[in-house]
Amino acid sequence: MKKLHFYKLMSKHVSVNWIPSAFFFFMLFYIASPAFSQIREIRIDPSKTYQTIENFTASDAWSGNFVGKYWDEKQKGQIAEWLFSQQYDASGNPAGIGLSMWRVNLGAGTLEQDSADIMPFQRRAESFLTKDGKSYDWEKCTGQQYFMQKAAEYGCNNFLLFSNSPLVQYTKNGKGWSSSDKEANIKPDCYSKYAGYMADVARYFSEKKGLHIAYISPINEPQVEWDTPRQEGSSWRSSEMKKMFVELDKALTSNNLDNVKILPGESSSLQALYETPASVKERYPEGDAPDKQISTFFDPGSPNYVGNLKNVPPIIAGHSYGSHKTNKEIKETREKVKSEAEKYGVSFHQSEWCLLPGLKPPMDGFTPDWEAVNYAGMQPALLLGRLMYGDFVYAGAKAWGYWKGMEINGNHALVSLYPTDGDLLKGGLIRTNKMLWALGNYSFFIRPGYTRIGLWGADNPDTLAASAYMAPDKSRIVAVYVNSSFETIPVSISILQGYDKKVEKVSVFRTDDRTDLANMYVPEKFSSDTEYEIPPRSLVTMVFDF
């Protein structure tokens, strides 16, 4: 069996501070040495098909509005390239991660309130409604509109509008956060008004800007106690959510926006999709809690059934928070989501996740000395890789979303912002985090319409976990490997159904401590008797072109 020695041409995607000067222009991808592990035989079967992938996304909340409005074109343009570009740079590396959807925050208007008390400041958000509530000002939210336009220019003309709170003009307490953690913070007579507002925003972007609004998500994490001014947010009972969906469905229909769909769910945990979390059970009246959201919205016998609404597709969205400390938990939780979704004929979208600040070991895949809580580093990136594997393979997710695209000192965001004097209005410096490139190992190569296919021989998140995807025209297969172990894992790969002989080119891209989605320049000729080595603590994407 042939063993490959991979070399990498120096580029911006390789950290240079560790490289001996004698190797300044070339670096060794991996020096051949006795294998630490037995060769894994990987079998990819294009005839075994699963779900079709719809999109990969991240959001502009909340710093995107400030960056897009106040920062120099050099910085904000670079962020847009990192997030949306589907092109390769001069060295053959992806210039960005090629997101295929952009999640846009519909702010409640807290940024414009003289009495706003949400802290930190950058979590306050604009709305298009004027302060007196009588008209719209489409010149507002200019920073958000900047990133929407840049996304479209890069080929990501696909948007999801999401709301954390109803407009402050419509809330019970006049604020973007709730005085109660047991009910929706919206006046009883404002459901239709708020639905009309969201429909008007979607129509503006569609008709005036030529942007494709695929979804509106009017409710976010209804299970959370949003009774402190830490960000915009509102709790919701199931009956209140149904009322909001019904009014939004009417508004979309009356505006002839049949191409815009309502995305229900957005639960704060995956568990809330199929059971009643303890914190929810304690706060809400029995029978009206924001729980068991799959059956609540899609069981025809439920009083809060919305599956018959014209603009509600059979899709449930949930967030992968709170179910990732162990690989066992990742598997068991997501298998329950898949089972419940299949029971009611519903597709699952994982619409938001990041490694929230404050989490520390013990967590599977993290070293005990991870006390610096370096969210920008490789350990969280490997968790992201394992989590995405679990969401796609165990839960059958058709879409996957990261939380913040950018944030102040945001090691847990895809891009960290370092504002001058700590002021977002003064511009500043930017830096990518490993999470960005790890997400790119999936999002850059797995495009909308790709179908997950069979892959056997790498199904252990403790060591090596992998999944494979095929292009609609069957011209390409993408396999993503997540090696969480501290050993190099050699693999041999066979592609069944005669595809072995059809491979015209194979490419390999790696993210680890030293590289950022870097092209490894392997020999293009593929053979099933070739041994490939998956380096320790890395994400590796292999692309087979036919």
Nearest 5°: the CA angle 239, 245, 246 is 90
In whole angstroms, what is the distance from residue 82 CA to residue 492 CA? 32
Once rounded to an integer, what is the mean pLDDT over residues 450-456? 99
Q: What's the N-to-C CA distance of the chain in angstroms?
A: 23
Query: What was the pLDDT predicted at 20?
Result: 34
- Cα separation, 61 vs 205, in Å, equals 18
pLDDT digits (tens, 9 = 90+) for 281-328: 999 998 999 999 999 999 999 999 999 999 999 999 999 999 999 999
CA 317 to chain centre: 12
Range with lowest mean pLDDT among 201-215, 235-249, 357-371: 357-371
φ/ψ of 309, rounded to 5, equals -75, 140
Please indicate whether residue 461 or residue 36 has the higher confidence score (pLDDT).
461
Is residue 31 over pLDDT 60? no
The two tokens of residue 524 are 């293009």
pLDDT in tens, 454-493: 999 999 999 999 999 999 999 999 999 999 999 999 999 9
Give long-range contacts, CB 8 A cutoff, 24+ apart: 427-434: 427/70, 427/71, 427/72, 427/75, 428/71, 428/75, 429/75, 430/75, 430/78, 430/79, 430/406, 431/376, 432/82, 432/516, 433/375, 433/376, 433/381, 434/376, 434/377, 434/378, 434/380, 434/381, 434/511, 434/516
Rounded to an integer, the average pLDDT of 63-80 is 99
CA nearest 394: which of 327, 464, 345, 441?
A: 327
The helix (run of H) or strand (run of E) holding residue 335 is: helix 327-343
- Please report the pLDDT score of residue 535 as a whole number: 98
pLDDT at 34 over 50: no
Output the six-digit token pair for 305: 């059934």
**Residue 418: pLDDT over 60:** yes
Indicate the pTM of the whole model: 0.94
Say how far apart CA 291 and CA 347 lie, in whole Å. 18
- pLDDT higher than threshold 90 for residue 429: yes
Could you report the per-residue pLDDT of 179-197, keeping only the tens digit for each? 988 999 999 999 999 999 9
pLDDT digits (tens, 9 = 90+) for 49-61: 999 999 999 999 9
Residue 462 vs residues 366, 536, 537: alpha-carbon distances, Å: 11, 12, 11
The pLDDT of residue 115 is 79
Question: In three state form, how does the secondary structure of 411-458 look?
Answer: CCCCEEEEEHHHCHHHCEEEEECHHHHHHHHHHCCCCCCCEEEEEECC
- 210 phi-psi bin (left φ>0, alpha ψ -120 to 50, beta other): left
Q: Which amino acid is at 155?
A: G
- Give residue 18's pLDDT band: very low, low, confident or very high (50, 70, 90): very low
Quick one: what percent of the chain has pLDDT higher than 90? 84
Query: What residues does 101 pair with on adjacent strands?
Result: 57
Residue 2: per-residue pLDDT: 62
**Cα→Cα distances 238→235, 262, 295, Å:** 10, 16, 11
Please say whether the beta carbons of 36 and 7 come within 8 A: no
Q: Stretch 61-74: mean pLDDT, rounded? A: 98
DSSP code, position 88: B
Rounded to the nearest 10°, the torsion over CA 540, 495, 505, 484 is 10
Residue 169 CB contacts under 8 Å (≥ 6 apart), including other chains: 109, 129, 133
Residue 163: its pLDDT value, please? Answer: 99
Dump pLDDT digits (tens) for 103-122: 999 999 999 998 789 999 99
pLDDT range class, residue 355, cuts 50, 70, 90: confident
d(CA 56, CA 400): 5
Domains and CATH numbers, the chain: 2-51+454-545 (2.60.40.1180), 54-445 (3.20.20.80)
Tell me the C-alpha to C-alpha distance, in Å, between residue 325 and each of 50, 79, 372, 397.
Answer: 27, 30, 18, 19
Say yes or no to pLDDT of 11 above 50. Answer: no
pLDDT for the residue numbered 371? 63
Closest CA to 472 of 499, 503, 451: 451
The pair of structure tokens assigned to 330 is 């990742």
What per-residue confidence (pLDDT) applies to 1?
A: 61
Mean of all residue pLDDT scores within the chain: 93
Q: Residues of 511-536 as b/e, b for ≥16 C-beta within 10 angstroms?
A: bbebbbbbbbebeeebeeebbbbbbb
Cis peptide upstream of residue 62 (ω within 30 degrees of 0)? yes
Residues 129, 198: Cα–Cα separation, whole Å: 11
pLDDT tens, residue by residue, 371-412: 665 778 999 999 999 999 999 999 999 999 999 999 998 788
Over 60: is that where the pLDDT of 24 sits? no
pLDDT for residue 374: 75
Residues 26 and 8 sit within 8 Å (Cβ to Cβ): yes
**pLDDT at residue number 14:** 56
Cis peptide before 120 (omega within 30 of 0): yes
3-state secondary structure of 501: helix
